[in-house]
Amino acid sequence: MALSKNQKDRISELLSQKIEGKLKKYGRETTSMPFLARLIQDNEKIAAYSFIHSLATTLGMSIYEDVSLIIASETSDECFKSYGIGGAISRQQKSVINKIITELRNGNRTADIKKEISEIIATPSSGGQFQKSGNIADFYMRRGNDECYFEIKTVKPNIDVFEKSKTKLLEWVARKRKPIKVFLAFPYNPYYPEPYSRFTEVGMMDHPNDFLIGEEYWNLLGGNKTFQELLDVFDKVGKQFKAKLQEKFKQVAKDKLDSY
């Protein structure tokens, strides 16, 4: 199963609303870029860059959570974004998680999420306390008895993100005190068609068992060919707004940036 007509329409509407809103509200905050303006020698290109950067900021990572919700709504029993996991973590569980992370960081063990989950579940959980930090999963879905929790991150994170995200995933297991599926997910592979490579994930992740990249993530949510069909929806919306965007670039470009 891939995307239904209803899902495509909902995603298209979501994207259109975001772009329309930005077209109506956008006003250039930076009124002077004297160095860049003299280097580029093309005010319209600078205007396009400024608008695109602003649009990307507006969309942020939330657009991927919104789209995930639309896709999983037809393929899961329940799904939520910004999902509060709850649960308590005991000192013993924290100790085991810290030990796992330290051994992974030092190269003393190989990432194996199934084994790591087993170790955490086998650890006493009595006397645990609620921990506010790390309580929210960017996205959650359940299919039958399978509970899946996702941390969705920007595709080129800082080196410490992998360690922090892996810690969070393991803490989710401790909170639930049962086998669950936990993933760090990237919405696309910035190195395509080459394999993803970013600090070689600093030895933290067990790809693809707790780390999903692009097509792997979207196809898990919606089924085979979901990723390609999702790209097609984005492409269609982009073509619909191409003329409006170009006109906006020209409008913004009327305000010169080389006034020094």
Amino acid, res. 149: Y
Q: pLDDT category, 257, cuts 50, 70, 90?
A: low
Same domain, 86 and 11: no
Per DSSP, the three-state class of 216 is: helix
Angle between helices 159-176 and 113-121 (to 10 degrees): 40
161 domain residue, yes or no: yes
- Residues 182-221 pLDDT 10s: 999 999 999 999 988 876 566 899 999 999 999 999 999 9
Cα(34)–Cα(15) distance, integer angstroms:
33
pLDDT at 258: 55
Residue 214's H or E segment, with its range, is none
What percent of the chain has pLDDT above 70? 94
Same domain, 135 and 249: no
Count of domains in the chain?
A: 2
Cα(163)–Cα(173) distance, integer angstroms:
16
Same domain, 200 and 82: yes
**Residue 168 CB coordination number (10 Å):** 20
Same domain, 239 and 142: no
- Residues 1-18 pLDDT 10s: 689 999 999 999 999 999
Same domain, 123 and 174: yes
70 domain residue, yes or no: no
Q: By the 8 A CB rule, do 113 and 210 touch?
A: yes
Per the structure, the complete domain to which residue 231 belongs is given by 1-60+227-260
What percent of the chain has pLDDT above 90? 70
Same domain, 38 and 108: no
Half-sphere exposure of residue 37: CA atoms within 13 angstroms, side-chain side = 14
